[in-house]
Structure 1
Amino acid sequence: MTIETDRLRDLVAAELGRARDRTTLLTESVDEGDLIRQHSPLMSPLVWDLAHVGNQEELWLVRDVGGREPVRRDIDELYDAFKHPRRDRPQLPLLGPGEARRYVATVRDKALDVLSRSRLDGTPLVDQGFAFGMIVQHEQQHDETMLATHQLRTGAPVLEAPPPPAPAVPVTGEALIPAGPFTMGTSTEPWALDNERPAHQVIVPAFHIDRALVTNGQYAAFIDDGGYDDPRWWSEAGWAHRQSAGLVAPQHWSRDGDGWASTSFGRTQRIVADEPVVHVCFHEAAAYAAWAGKRLPTEAEWEKAARLDPATGRSRRFPWGDDPPAAEHANLGQRHLRPAPAGAYPMGVSPWGVHQLIGDVWEWTSTDFHGYPGFAPFPYREYSEVFFGPEYKVLRGGSFGTDRSACRGTFRNWDYPIRRQIFSGFRCARDA
């Protein structure tokens, strides 16, 4: 055993603890009725997410890494996300709230014992604590999903957080990113997931990208100009969806006199004009961009603007450098319950002068989800590979609900282009 191994074990234990603290907050802030209720057919009951994170921890850490006997083999199928669509999960014989809490606590005790006894090198699954990091990220991803479920529930507010910081600097206009190669993806980030790998060189033509995310005020101007009524701005698929779904504004927006209000975690207030618009689908984002005479960035453009250091030609872990995100860098981790206004995080700006590429809202890109050249599924195909194809669009950057452990300059999210219950927004780009 080395000091480095001890430090890694301490880090893993702390990250597992942070994730569980957040899960506990999200599941204990509501009563048992809200835990077992399905608040939207797009989302699982909160109690399903709770037991599911425990089941994944049991499968990978207790059984696979630890080689221990199963805790509850009988529930594996109930919490297999591929066997039961979300809309059907309330009808399953799920663990009740008390039983689910006892189950995840038992699994955690065993996982920590496995951590204390395991080598953190020797095989790809455990090297640098990968399996433990995968479980940390998995639980934090479900915490963000549960936060989205909280946004969809009705009733009195149950979550509290201070408002995001006020703008510290003005942010306007575009950044010009010159043509040339950069290194996309990673082969060295220890907890990077398979779809982020391997690092590879990409040549990107010159392009302009907005320094700030599209704001509520800008998006309201698109609506007030008849943007939802003019098929010129929409793709064929986007216009068909706008009509069939009856879209007239971002999700959770409502008319408030001559303006707009939005409802966020049970509280309704007038929109804040300089905060990033959130809860828009890909089609809405693309229509706004067309109306503005621009387009959505490609995934490679987004990552080049976020990671390339023009002084060295090196791709950094984050827009501000290689240091992990801190509170001054980005709006992450549910510290606030809404996006921060443009210019609120000057310490997180990229070398190109592009702000808030990490945190606040997931940013839609125009790129279909696919594997990089040399992609290899690990540790199982169902994490990424089964989703590759034109049905899904890539989102980048994380949101105010994304934890720092599950967000980096290479991290890739994906979803159907019609989805908007997620904390999704966008910025625009155009050819140079």
Structure 2
Amino acid sequence: MTTIDELGAERLRDRIAGELERARARTALLTEAVDDADLTRQHSPLMSPLVWDLAHIGNQEELWLVRDVGGHEPVRRDIDDLYDAFKQPRRDRPALPLLPPAEARAYVDTVRDKVHDLLGRVPFTDRPLVADGFAFGMIVQHEQQHDETMLATHQLRAGPPALHAPPPPEPRARVADEVLVPAGEFTMGTSTDPWALDNERPAHTVRLPAYVIDAAPVTNGRYREFIDAGGYDDPRWWGEAGWRHRTEAGLTAPMHWRRDGDGWAYRRFGRWSPVRDDEPVVHVCWYEARAYAAWAGKRLPTEAEWEKAARWDPATGRSRRHPWGDEEPTAEHANLGQRHLWPAPVGAYPAGASPLGVHQLLGDVWEWTSSPLRGHPGFAAFPYREYSEVFFGDDHRVLRGGSFGTDRAACRGTFRNWDYPIRRQIFSGFRCARDAGPEESHP
């Protein structure tokens, strides 16, 4: 938290304005790609109608920026309860008296106009909520997170394709199977990233024994081997809770896959394509990821193991913001920001590899870890408990790294996501890890 001079304040205002505009352009793309009927329809009980997400984005922006930071009168106090995610379960939202599409768009536009007026004169003081523009950064990340949620809703909708994007790049490098991460300490989390959220804080030292981690996410080809070996029919790999879920849910393959002759095809945003073996597997739940890892003689990495592989630089001993360094992601580093609509094949982003040679840690697929969601040592909820603290416990498992649908504003080496272990409508994949053997630990 710092106090900045007027020149620094102007630069920060310009950055915030650009990030707000970029997020809103994506929101518009996702909500204007379909007609009003699709906007108001619930495409899955797991997801909100798209029009709910749209107005919720505006409502959060009003609550935090217009009312709290700006101290202004409410734009629409009467809709606060309708767009409270804790009061309104997703399955029930279609029955609510939601703002119709035209009214929702007008509402978010009105809120944004007030925010632009506020941004032009707000002092970035030592008040924690506004220092370094935190409240604006929180709202940017919130909108981008809901944009990814809306993208997942698009993947679930029936009907002809509504979204279009070029395919991701082809492989540019050969990638090893595994990478040894030597024993030792590293710094996990952050205390200096001004827009980092509460569950990423504070920075703290973690010591880990030597371990081996996959150099890339598990691919469709590797996962098909698990299917072909009868992995979905063998309770040995699943554990009691996992086998119960596999049986009750009738799981036989990743979500959106279907048999196609002797192979498999899967549906991507309204288009069926053959499953490509060198792409990371996506739309698998935590139980599926853990079962594959057990079948392969490995395990899922802990959250700390994932972060050390992603951030630790053995040459300096410091933890980087991203695997490749501290600079912002570009199209050369990672498959982020809905630039493409599916994961890139392994080896497509050599410039994004970590110092240890671990590839595609950011972008492509969210990666399940074995860890339940907990606060870091010294955690303090900010600015409200409901952002992350109320989710702490054994019910949720942590995912790391972001997906092709995650924006760079909401993705960094410390960023933490979480979900129920049964969820697979999200853009989720995984990589495996294992303990290092004696000959590996002491080469």
Tell me by how many angstroms 1:361 deviates: 0.2
Residue 20 of structure 1 corresponds to 24
Is 1:91 aligned with 2:92?
Answer: no
SS of structure 2 residue aligned to 1:117: coil
Tell me by how many angstroms 1:173 deviates: 1.4
Q: What are the Cα deviations for residues 136-191 of structure 1, in whole angstroms up to 9, with x where unaligned?
A: 00000000000000000000001000000000011131100011110000000000
1:404 alignment partner AA: R
Match of residue 274, structure 1, among 265, 273, 278: 278
2:248 alignment partner AA: S
Assess if the C-alpha contact under 8 Å between 1:212 and 1:356 holds in 2: yes
Q: What are the Cα deviations for residues 54-94 of structure 1, in whole angstroms up to 9, with x where unaligned?
A: 00000000000000110000000000000010000000000
2:142 alignment partner AA: H
Match of residue 158, structure 1, among 150, 157, 162: 162
- How far apart, in 1, do the equivalents of 2:331 and 2:141 lie? 19
Match of residue 391, structure 1, among 368, 371, 395: 395
SS of structure 2 residue aligned to 1:395: strand
Tell me by how many angstroms 1:235 deviates: 1.3
SS of structure 1 residue aligned to 2:124: coil
1:200 alignment partner AA: H
Spell out structure 1 runs of 4+ moving beyond 6 A.
none
Is 1:355 aligned with 2:362?
Answer: no
- How far apart, in 1, do the equivalents of 2:282 and 2:181 lie? 26
- How far apart, in 1, do the equivalents of 2:332 and 2:322 lie? 13
Tell me by how many angstroms 1:121 deviates: 2.4
1:110 alignment partner AA: K
Is 1:207 aligned with 2:207?
Answer: no
Assess if the C-alpha contact under 8 Å between 1:209 and 1:428 holds in 2: yes
Is 1:63 aligned with 2:55?
Answer: no
- How far apart, in 1, do the equivalents of 2:76 and 2:216 lie? 48
Is 1:133 aligned with 2:137?
Answer: yes
- How far apart, in 2, do the equivalents of 1:213 and 1:294 lie? 13
- How far apart, in 2, do the equivalents of 1:280 and 1:231 lie? 17
Tell me by how many angstroms 1:122 deviates: 1.8
Residue 153 of structure 2 corresponds to 149
- How far apart, in 2, do the equivalents of 1:6 and 1:269 lie? 48
- How far apart, in 2, do the equivalents of 1:169 and 1:251 lie? 29
Residue 108 of structure 1 corresponds to 112
Assess if the C-alpha contact under 8 Å between 1:121 and 1:129 holds in 2: no
SS of structure 2 residue aligned to 1:175: strand
Residue 375 of structure 1 corresponds to 379
Query: What is the CA RMSD across the aligned residues, in angstroms?
Result: 0.5
Is 1:11 aligned with 2:24?
Answer: no
SS of structure 2 residue aligned to 1:353: coil
2:291 alignment partner AA: A
SS of structure 1 residue aligned to 2:267: strand
2:350 alignment partner AA: P
- How far apart, in 1, do the equivalents of 2:177 and 2:225 lie? 17
Residue 223 of structure 2 corresponds to 219
SS of structure 1 residue aligned to 2:206: strand
Is 1:262 aligned with 2:247?
Answer: no
Unaligned runs of 5+ in 2: 437-443
Q: What are the Cα deviations for residues 290-349 of structure 1, in whole angstroms up to 9, with x where unaligned?
A: 111100000000000000000010000000000011110000000000000000000000
Match of residue 182, structure 2, among 178, 181, 188: 178
Is 1:37 aligned with 2:33?
Answer: no
Tell me by how many angstroms 1:3 deviates: 1.1
Is 1:430 aligned with 2:443?
Answer: no
Residue 440 of structure 2 corresponds to none
Tell me by how many angstroms 1:29 deviates: 0.2
Assess if the C-alpha contact under 8 Å between 1:147 and 1:401 holds in 2: yes
Residue 54 of structure 1 corresponds to 58
Is 1:168 aligned with 2:172?
Answer: yes
Residue 287 of structure 1 corresponds to 291
Tell me by how many angstroms 1:269 deviates: 1.1
TM-score normalised by length of structure 2: 0.97
Unaligned runs of 5+ in 1: none
Match of residue 334, structure 1, among 335, 338, 351: 338
Is 1:346 aligned with 2:347?
Answer: no
Is 1:414 aligned with 2:408?
Answer: no
- How far apart, in 2, do the equivalents of 1:296 and 1:324 lie? 28
SS of structure 1 residue aligned to 2:120: helix
Tell me by how many angstroms 1:256 deviates: 0.3
